[in-house]
Amino acid sequence: MNARQKILAVCDRLLGWLLAAVILGATLGFGGTAWWFRPWLVAGVTVLVLLKLLQDLLVGRTPILKTPLGLLGLAALALAVVQLAPLPGRLAERLSPTARAAYAQGALPDLVHADDAEAAPAEALPIRSPASLDRSATLHWLVLATACLGVFWCTSHFTDRLGKLYLVWGAVIAGFMLNSALALVQVSTRTEGLYGFCTPGAGAPWWAPNDNDLIDAPATTALRNLPDPISGKAIAPAAGAHLAVSHPFVFGTLPGGVGGFLAMGALALPLALAIVVHLGAPRGSRESWADRLGHSSQGALVVLLSVLLVLSCGLVGLASGPWFCLPFAFGLTMVGLPATIVPGARRLAFGLTMLSLLALGTGVGLEVYWADLLGTSAPLQAPDLRTSREVWTEAARIFKAFPIVGVGLGGFGAAHPYFKGHDLASTTAMSSLLQWGVEAGAVGLGLLALAGLWCLARLPGGVMRLGSMDRFLAFGLIGAVAGFSLLAVIHWTVELTAVAVSASALGGTWNRWLAGGTDLFVERG
């Protein structure tokens, strides 16, 4: 091995370690909400991209994948730049008349007219104005989205063999399974706090997230009167108010209640099921399942993944409730049902899928009847469908006021307080799809539709290019993407940084496969 080959091998190992560190670090670093994580993420992704470029330089070529997903991601970043730019008055009024009025007249005209039908609109100032209502939030979104696009690009080019695919998927699964283990302990002992000891805003260590960090994460907020420094009671409203953040029961490593746990589970559960079926499927051998796994030294991994998969499904059912569990059931079914066609894997796939669905249903039943059986409230509070519907209705009103380019990417939390009809304000639209429409407008929805149509058009060909034993992993990828997409319609997902990083890494493997690559499902020497 010459010096060039040694450097390539070192770069390859460093890429794998750093990519796993970025994915796992986002999950372990309090879901990416801690103050130190964002600089670390930007630095890590920068080194990751530079390493990949150095590797391509040493190889002498840079492969270009035949896929538009990367270009559509760049188009989303360009939309954020347009939203940030101070535009001339006429152009700003055409792109976003409501945002133009907010900057030039100091108020939202529709809301002023709703409060006082006879109120005369203020004279518009001849100034430049952006389309984003919260430029700092849009800039924040732009930086994190650029980092996620870097993870997406590096993963697309890095996963050129099965071992690397297992590394990326394993990092996603490991982050979720760690949260499942912590949740099992904390739920059984009723111990609250991140990692079981750290409660944000209640004497947390300096390196942990505080209330200000939680405002940037998915949460609900409300204005409250400032407390008296002596008595501790709320003082007169005239003295001022502060933005209070709700504190649901937190567990594991992800803040925001059960939302982040559910979003990570939608990605990890189908992948874990697919890996177990793939490892346990025969490949021309007549040995028993136990002998085959024992000889390959993979038996312990399969048993561990199977046990954690079933336990995690039960916890997801307990955390999701009867309505929000449907994306998980669909994702698991998308993995297990096609695998039953293959004779050698039929029993394993059917049995493990049914066991996972049974655990999911048992968790849902416990969530519904917990109070009747035990006389106390359930330890995990499932998302409330009625509250979600209220926020969806208010988000639809915001979309009607900002239909073309939205309120600005990352700016939903700034717009929602002006349209809410109740005390609490939400930093998310309780639906990633609806929030994307509110923040990016019809332009953003068009980009999303193009990406979805291309994926659907490429999906049948991608499956047909694979052998029967490699399709287990492909259907695991399909189940993860389908379940996660369905959950994103009815709940928030990528608004938490850890979920966005994991989804970007998984999206990179999806991108390589649909672009025509089959090497990521095949092991090479």
Mind listing the pLDDT tens digit for each residue in 90-130?
898 888 888 888 888 777 776 666 666 666 666 667 788 89
Residue-wise pLDDT for 230-273, tens only, equals: 555 555 554 566 677 776 778 888 888 899 999 999 999 999 99
Please spell the DSSP secondary structure of 99-130, one letter per residue.
Answer: HHHHHHHSS-HHHHHHH-TTPPPPPPP---B-
CB 429 within 8 A of CB 412: yes
Q: Which of 1-15, 316-330, 458-472 has the highest mean pLDDT?
A: 316-330
Q: How confident is the model at residue 51 (pLDDT cuts 50, 70, 90)?
A: very high
- 365 vs 137: CA distance, rounded Å: 40
* Pair of tokens at residue 441: 């407008």
Sign of the dihedral through C-alpha 16, 459, 313, 340: negative
pLDDT for residue 70 is more than 70: yes
- In the chain, the N- to C-terminal Cα span, in Å, equals 15
pLDDT of residue 474: 92
Q: Tokens at residue 470, please?
A: 């490699």
Report yes or no: 429 and 395 within 8 Å, Cβ to Cβ: yes
Inter-residue contact 487 to 262 (CB < 8 Å) = yes
State how far the alpha carbon of 303 is from the alpha carbons of 273, 308, 521, in Å: 12, 9, 22
Phi-psi region at 384: left, alpha or beta (left = phi > 0; alpha = psi -120 to 50): beta
Nearest to 431 by CA among 250, 206, 294, 259: 259
Return the pLDDT at 310.
Answer: 94
User: Would you state the pLDDT for residue 288?
Assistant: 60
Examine the pLDDT at 410 and tell me if it is beyond 80. yes
DSSP state of 247: -
Q: What is the pLDDT of residue 238?
A: 47
Q: Does the structure show a pLDDT above 70 at 294?
A: no
Please identify which residue in the block is written with the tokens 């005390």. 423
Which tokens belong to 341? 């066609």
Q: What is the pLDDT of residues 461-520, one digit of tens each?
A: 999 988 877 888 999 999 999 999 999 999 999 999 999 999 999 999 999 999 988 888
pLDDT band at 328 (very low <50, low <70, confident <90, very high): very high
What confidence score (pLDDT) does residue 289 get?
62
State residue 230's pLDDT score: 54
Give 225's strand partners.
241
**φ and ψ at residue 76, rounded to 5 degrees:** -65, -40
Domain boundaries, the chain: 3-61+69-77+136-195+251-384+421-521, 86-130
Would the pTM of this model clear 0.75, i.e. be above it? yes
Reported as a single tens digit per residue, the pLDDT across 193-232 is 888 888 776 667 888 888 778 888 888 887 777 665 555 5
Tokens of 465: 């290019």
